[in-house]
Amino acid sequence: MDPYTITTSFFCTVLLPLLLLLTALKLWELYCLSRRDHESHLPLPPGTMGLPFFGETLQMVLRRKKFLQMKQRKYGNIYKTHLFGAPTVRVMGADNVRQILLGEHRLVTVQWPASVRIILGAGCLSNLHDGQHKNMKRVIMQAFTWEALENYIPVMEEEVRSAMDLWLNSGPCVLVYPAVKRLMFRIAMRLLLGFHPEDMSPEREQALLDAFEEMTRNLFSLPIDVPYSGLYRGVRARNVIHAKIEENIKEKLKMEPETSGKDALQLLIDHSRRNGEKLDLQALKESATELLFGGHGTTASAATSIITFLGLNKGVVEKVREELESKGLLSNQPGERKDLSMDILQQLTYTGCVLKETLRLSPPVPGGFRVAQKTFVLNGYQIPKGWNIIYSIADTHNASEVFPNKEEFDPDRFLAPLPEDSSRFNFIPFGGGVRSCVGKEFAKILLKIFIVELCRNCDWELLNGPPVMKTSPIVYPADNLPTKFEPFNSTL
């Protein structure tokens, strides 16, 4: 082969594709940067925009924790990127996040990635805006009043005790994360959607839970709806869930409002009846799906983290038991067992600190999404109108200077109030502002009950030690947390 042929072949097979790639990358970067606000003289945040169209979505999905840590080390608490098909600014740090969360309807508004909006639907609370959001939130909040929560406690206790009895009789190993997900799913089905235990066989319950798993795994996908894509699988799983919820809605419609239970779904139905509105079945299915997603996924993540941190810190378990003993709550004997109430749970100060410390170190939801309604300034950078904003809960907790020895699990840090000059946005496990989690009091009560029942019924050992945590999109242990449970005898 002559030198000319070799040179031509090398140019066509190596240099030309490389030049085209570099040109495409440069054009992509120029296109992304052209979407800045040219009327502002302030710079964009530092960062990179990744590959054409894909941006840095694949790196974030495949290498989430390492990718985000690398970005923060390199660019700090505010940086630009391109995720889920849109130019994005990622924000962390209490003061920065405060400006985002308190800027709702003024600087920013909620806008989840396209895949989330498609799968969860436009009718659910997290995708509503302004008056629609305010009205639906007011209706749903009726399911989380003090009186409603008080009425939920017996069901929560019943389900948690039943699950723990099963774990204690399941041999030398329980995979905690799947077991806790099933527990929290049953509680959410009963209390938020009004299902009765006899409504579903274990097989049908598991099938519905599996559908939720598939939907959750594919919530954050590239917005490409083709067979076997993440979005395609997520929508198919969502349809399975909607079909079951539709059955439940139709059963509720046969009941008179005054004779039906006041779960969150029933409240939404009754609200439409009272206002003479035409019942929007699709919106109800979307709202119910969102309630189930938020009501069991996040609490399952937090409860798994509780088992993890308490399993690794036996001294904390002893302090919880001392508090329970001081309130007459430690006995787990049937004739001596003292039932819980809202008043009693409010008195469990140290137990509440254990929950707070768990949520500080391992918030179930790592962050939230907004979109800039207009160009504004954040810490000296311009945030252009139309750009997506991701605020980070987990990294804001990690970056906070108000928590000394922040890597340690130390519930005692919450026994004293935070310093007066510190922002309350240093600790935001449930978000903040008008978009804070509507079910946060429900979650706090449920998780407190979980801690109480765990500590007065069980001793346990993490068989693999501290787990590696993953996010998809909720935080969970990669090994499902294999654990050995044994009965705790409070009389010894």
Which tokens go with 33? Answer: 């940067």
Please tell me the total number of residues recorded for the chain in this structure.
492
* Residue 483, H or E segment: strand 482-487
Least confident of 148-157, 254-263, 438-447: 254-263
In the prediction, which pLDDT does 433 show? 84
Is the whole model's pTM more than 0.85, yes or no? yes
Of the two residues 140 and 316, the one the predictor is more confident about is 316
Q: Residue 384 in contact with residue 86, Cβ under 8 Å?
A: no
Beta bridge pairs of residue 378: 381
Per-residue pLDDT, 422: 67
CB atoms within 10 A of CB 7: 11
Q: How confident is the model at residue 421 (pLDDT cuts 50, 70, 90)?
A: low
How far, in Å, are 350, 409, 422 from residue 321 at the CA level? 10, 17, 32
Q: Distance from first CA to last CA of the chain, Å, rounded?
A: 89
173 is in an annotated binding site: no
pLDDT for the residue 181? 93
Residue of 249, 177, 263 lying closest to 213 (CA atoms): 177
Q: Assess contact for 447 and 432: CB atoms under 8 A.
A: no
Answer whether residue 392 shows pLDDT above 50. yes
What percentage of the chain carries pLDDT values higher than 90?
47
Q: How far apart are CA 330 and CA 352, in angstroms?
A: 16
Mean pLDDT of 73-86: 91
pLDDT in tens, 173-207: 999 999 999 999 999 999 888 887 777 678 888 88
Per DSSP (E only), the strands in 255-340 are: none
State which of 36-40, 65-69, 461-465 shows the largest mean pLDDT.
461-465
Cβ contact 270:286 at 8 Å: no
Distance CA 229, CA 339 (A): 48
The answer to whether residue 141 scores a pLDDT higher than 80 is yes
**Structure confidence at residue 411 (pLDDT):** 97
Gap between the Cα atoms of 145 and 386, Å rounded: 37
3-state DSSP call for residue 47? strand
SS3 at position 57: helix
At 376 the three-state DSSP class reads strand
pLDDT of residue 160: 96
Phi first, then psi, for residue 307 (nearest 5°) are -60, -40
% of the chain with per-residue pLDDT over 70: 89
* Weakest-pLDDT range from 247-261, 313-327, 371-385: 247-261
- Range with the lowest mean pLDDT among 49-53, 288-292, 328-332, 368-372? 49-53
pLDDT at 278: 75
- The confidence score (pLDDT) of residue 260 equals 47
Residue 260 and residue 57: Cα distance in Å, rounded?
46
272 confidence band (pLDDT: 50, 70, 90): confident
Cβ distance 299 to 449 under 8 Å? no
Which residue segments constitute the domains of the chain, with CATH numbers given?
Answer: 35-487 (1.10.630.10)
* 3-class secondary-structure state, position 87: strand
Q: Which residue has the higher pLDDT, 460 or 244?
A: 460
Res. 1: pLDDT tops 80: no
Long-range contact set of residues 315-323: C-beta below 8 Å, sequence gap at least 24: 316/354, 316/409, 316/411, 317/455, 319/350, 319/411, 320/350, 320/351, 320/354, 320/451, 320/455, 321/455, 321/456, 321/490, 323/348, 323/349, 323/350, 323/351
- Mapping DSSP onto H, E and C, the string for 419-477 reads CCCCCHHHCCCCCCHHHCCCCHHHHHHHHHHHHHHHHHHEEEEECCCCCCEEECCCEEE
Q: What mean pLDDT do residues 196-223 have?
A: 82
Segment 310-318 shows an average pLDDT of: 97
CB 97 within 8 A of CB 379: no
Going by DSSP bridges, is the β-strand pair 86-91/78-83 parallel, antiparallel, or unpaired? antiparallel
Distance CA 65, CA 63 (A): 6
Q: Report, as an integer, the average pLDDT of 400-405.
A: 90
> Which amino acid is present at 135?
N
423-461, pLDDT tens digit by residue?
789 999 998 888 888 889 999 999 999 999 999 999 999
Q: 54 phi and psi, to 5 degrees? A: -75, -25
Supply 423's token pair. 């922002």
pLDDT digits (tens, 9 = 90+) for 19-39: 655 655 566 566 566 667 778
Region 373-386 average pLDDT = 94
- Residue 296, pLDDT above cutoff 60: yes
pLDDT in tens, 80-139: 999 888 899 999 999 999 999 999 889 999 888 888 888 888 778 887 787 788 888 888
